[in-house]
Amino acid sequence: MGRVRRAAGVPLAGDRQGGHVSPSPPGGVTSPGGLSFSVYGPPVAQGRPRTARLPAGNIRVFDPPASRDFKQHVRMQALAALGGRPRLLEGALELQLSVQLCRPRSAPKRLWPDVKPDLSNYLKGVEDAMIGVAFRDDAQIVRMSLDKHYGPEPGVAIRLTPLGQGEP
């Protein structure tokens, strides 16, 4: 997939400064109990599963190659942010995901990337990639903040935060 750059990260939605969360430094950050990292390069939305009939008559279902490669890239960046070893967060989690795309020349005045692929398809790929690396099951994610916007460098910024027992 794309290469890892040692530059400023992609902003996440929800920070006090201009509506964006501060980008993570190179390699990511593990806050007390949380995780924040960026994946540089063009984001890939989760594609539809492909099927193939095996000689014995069985059917095999698999990810399209672009989706599989992007999930592997996200997984590697998450592991790098965790020091090279999986660390499964427990309990309810909040996921902040910001997808940054390059503005196409054909849409210089378009403010938002309100075209396919859907934001939810980017989310599916990221969630699948982090299962077994940062959390046990994506059912643990009970709160989300998502955005898709244009910016100078394509990429995805991810922040995963455990929710305390007293938070509604």
Quote the pLDDT of residue 19: 34
C-alpha torsion angle, residues 66, 68, 69, 75 (rounded to 10): 140
CA separation, residue 99 to residues 32, 48, 147, 160 (Å): 24, 19, 6, 15
Whether residue 48 is predicted with pLDDT greater than 70 in this model: the reply is: yes
Out of 70-74, 108-112, 158-162, least confident range: 108-112
93-101 and 59-62 beta bridge pairing: unpaired
Within 13 Å of residue 46, how many CA atoms lie on the same side as its CB?
A: 15
54-94 pLDDT per residue, tens: 888 898 888 899 999 999 999 999 999 999 999 999 999 99
Provide the pLDDT for residue 32.
61
pLDDT tops 50 at residue 164: yes
